Amino acid sequence: MNQAENKALMMGNEAIARGLVENGCSVATAYPGTPSSEILSSVAMYRRQLGIDMHTQWAVNEKIAFEIAYAGSQAGLRTAVSMKQVGLNVASDPLMSAAYMGCVGGFIIISADDPGPHSSQTEQDSRMLAVMAKIPVLDPDSPGQAKAMVGMAYDLSETFKTPVMLRPTTRVCHSRQDVQPGDIPVSTRQPDFKKDPLRWAATPKFRYQLHLELEAKLADIARQTATAPLLRNPQAGGRQAVVASGVAAAYTAEALNDLGLWERLPFYQVLQPFPLHTDFMKQLLANHDDVLILEESTGIIEMQLADHRRVKGKLNHVVPRVGELLPEKVERLLADFTGQAVTIPELPPAPGRRPTLCAGCPHRASFFAIKKAAPRGIYTSDIGCYTLGLNLEAVDTVLCMGAAISQAAGFYHAYRNAEKRPDVVATIGDSTFFHAGLPALIDAVNHNVRFVLVILDNRTTAMTGSQPTPATGTGVSGEALVKVDMETLIKGCGVEFLEVGDPYDLANFTAMVKKAVAFSRSHGPAVVIARHPCIIDLSRQGKGTDPVRVTVNDDCDGCGYCLQHFECPALVAVDDGARTAVDPLICTGCGVCLNVCPKGAIVADR
């Protein structure tokens, strides 16, 4: 099959996906998470368009996705798993063992980092987990290089029988570049799992031996020429040098040209931050007395060089430890490093807008009902769009996937002997419930935790781009799958109170949550499923219900209750705050706000 075409404008995640199919990936799995989400959907698109025989799957969480793809590699196929950096925490258990046992077919772990952070709980550096797991990691600077590194990673993985991490960052994942598509090979590989219990089911005694072998692999990988650092401007010389990796390397190349330093300041680009090449470390410190290291987010390269008298970077606070290394920061660091007196314009911060739930989002109604039902409660929540419930004072804690339920249990146990025990209401999305909430619910039932769990079931994984959940009954390409029934699952955990309601029906839904709160105070866990489709998802599908036209009448005295406690973007203060009005360009016509104004000033416009 020959698919060589002219260059195409590709997003970084699309380029990575293209690299996977061009290199014979047979199994690709993922759990959605920005900035990585488009990798798997793009692989699925190529699979459909080009008729490629491969398996693509959204898994229920990153650990499951990892283990499915890894098993394919054990059977000799080329496989890949993708996720965001905090998802790698979920997959860290199989990651550590897979590094010891190695692989047969090439196995790539794509962990997309989010320096900034733009849409993540942390700025953690996936390369640190690669160091901990003792697997090589490649750090692309652009979409084109990310695609090329997929092939490099498969070669490295199969040469050394080890998983390899590809670590793009947000600016690589979501930037676009003209990329040359390559041929799509016809895969001749057949699964051929060779039983080897001493390796694949190794007991601790044999794990020690595998660890020795892993250390030997790393030493060999650190001598490979294919992934060795590149001297980008060999004509330059001198005792000073700059070393960069990832997108910081792309910024460095531009900044050196802008500052007139390209011809005189040696610039090394590190393709493989770990393990750093042995000969490179020796030559760098032998040839240069003063070295600046530019990398996001942690000083991985810098730590391996380990000569802090001559090496400047994050560890000695020359380079900022927090936030992205934006082009203007890189230029400033290079100017300071070389003693250049230049004026680099600082862009004024763009005016921000308070993040809020979408107009018509069913979660807003759920939060309004929860505050009515448990007005002095403790509200634990989770990772997803609904984190924005904090603006409505309906979210008190957000820790990590699934923690809403565990933390609710923790607050119950903390207050269980208190004279006045607060009501505890946890909120979690449907996808997050399947991801990590289910084990926590089992634990809560087992220990008879008296709390209310409200599952915000909008029938999709909304925050990351509307990927399906196990309850949706569709796969990554829209193919039909077996639906997992949420109610049956919850009842199977032993929950005795379970009701399902539509938060758009605010009065009845509020009564349902009040009933759940009353049950939980004396009996145990109560679960309410707040079920209404995501308004954005419905819009994309061209679906929707008849809109309710809403207006604000003269009874409005500008008290601002609706703005503070409901915070719908379609409700706006006008006349210097003297009254509220409805913005018809934003209003979706859900009609929920008709139940919000205590004075009855929000009415249907008939």
Is residue 425 within 8 A of residue 374, CB to CB? The reply is yes
Distance in angstroms (rounded) separating the CA atoms of residues 301 and 250: 17
Residue 261's pLDDT is what? 97
Domains and CATH numbers, the chain: 8-189+197-222 (3.40.50.970), 230-338 (3.40.50.920), 362-541 (3.40.50.970), 550-604 (3.30.70.20)
Cα angle 420, 425, 426; round to 5: 140
Per-chain mean pLDDT for the chain = 94
Residue 228: φ, ψ to 5°:
-70, 155
List pLDDT tens digits, range 404-416. 999 999 999 999 9
Match 């913005």 to its residue by tokens.
583
pLDDT band at 148 (very low <50, low <70, confident <90, very high): very high
Q: Is 358 annotated as a binding residue?
A: no
Residue 175's pLDDT is what? 95
pLDDT band at 2 (very low <50, low <70, confident <90, very high): very low
Q: Is 593 annotated as a binding residue?
A: yes
List pLDDT tens digits, range 15-29. 999 999 999 999 999
Q: Which residues contact 104 (CB under 8 A, 6 or more apart)?
A: 73, 74, 75, 76, 161, 194
Q: Is 173 annotated as a binding residue?
A: no
For every residue of 547-600, DSSP letters joined together read: PPPEEE-TT-----HHHHHT--TTEEEETTTTEEEE-TTT-----GGGGT-TT-
Distance in angstroms (rounded) separating the CA atoms of residues 14 and 42: 6
Is pLDDT at 543 greater than 90 in this prediction? no
pLDDT band at 306 (very low <50, low <70, confident <90, very high): confident
Is pLDDT at 606 greater than 80 in this prediction? no
Of residues 184, 148, 126, 120, the one with CA closest to residue 12: 148
List pLDDT tens digits, range 76-134. 999 999 999 999 999 999 999 999 999 999 999 999 999 999 888 899 999 999 999 99
Distance in angstroms (rounded) separating the CA atoms of residues 361 and 385: 10
List pLDDT tens digits, range 357-408. 999 999 999 999 999 999 999 999 999 999 999 999 999 999 999 999 999 9
Q: Is 568 annotated as a binding residue?
A: yes
Residue 343's pLDDT is what? 83
Residue 451's pLDDT is what? 98
Q: Which tokens hold the place of 372?
A: 């009515």
Of residues 62, 42, 65, the one with CA closest to residue 52: 42
List pLDDT tens digits, range 429-460. 999 999 999 999 999 999 999 999 999 999 99
Q: Which residues contact 83 (CB under 8 A, 6 or more apart)?
A: 30, 31, 33, 36, 62, 65, 90, 91, 110, 111, 112
Cα distances (angstroms) measured from residue 69 to each of 54, 105, 163: 12, 10, 11
Q: Of all residues in the chain, what percent are helix, strand and coil, respectively (each to 5)?
A: 40, 15, 45
Q: Which amino acid is at 282?
A: K
DSSP 495: -
**Pairing assessment for the beta strands 78-84 and 176-179 based on DSSP bridges:** unpaired
Is pLDDT at 39 greater than 70 in this prediction? yes
Residue 6's pLDDT is what? 86
Distance in angstroms (rounded) separating the CA atoms of residues 466 and 385: 11
Diameter of the chain measured on Cα atoms: 82
Higher pLDDT, residue 47 or 187: 47
Residue 256's pLDDT is what? 97
Of residues 528, 593, 238, the one with CA closest to residue 373: 528
pTM above 0.85, yes or no: yes
Phi-psi region of 193 (alpha: psi -120 to 50; beta: other; left: phi over 0): beta
List pLDDT tens digits, range 312-357. 999 999 999 999 999 999 999 999 999 998 887 777 777 777 788 9
Is pLDDT at 235 greater than 70 in this prediction? yes
Is residue 573 within 8 A of residue 558, CB to CB? The reply is yes
List pLDDT tens digits, range 166-204. 999 999 999 999 999 999 988 889 999 999 999 999 888
Distance in angstroms (rounded) separating the CA atoms of residues 165 and 81: 10
What mean pLDDT is predicted for residues 36-60? Answer: 95
Asked, as a colleague might, if the bond just before 468 is cis with ω within 30 of 0, I would say no
Residue 536's pLDDT is what? 86
Helix boundaries (H) for 51-182 = 62-74, 85-90, 92-101, 126-133, 143-160, 170-174
Match 């697997």 to its residue by tokens.
135
List pLDDT tens digits, range 237-294. 999 999 999 999 999 999 999 999 999 999 999 999 999 999 999 999 999 999 999 9
Q: Is 385 annotated as a binding residue?
A: no
Of all residues in the chain, the percent with pLDDT exceeding 90 is: 89
Residue 275's pLDDT is what? 98
pLDDT band at 5 (very low <50, low <70, confident <90, very high): low
Other Cβ atoms less than 10 A from the Cβ of 552: the count is 20
Other Cβ atoms less than 10 A from the Cβ of 195: the count is 7
Residue 1's pLDDT is what? 44
Residue 411's pLDDT is what? 96
Cα angle 483, 399, 449; round to 5: 70
Is residue 533 within 8 A of residue 503, CB to CB? The reply is no
Distance in angstroms (rounded) separating the CA atoms of residues 510 and 520: 15
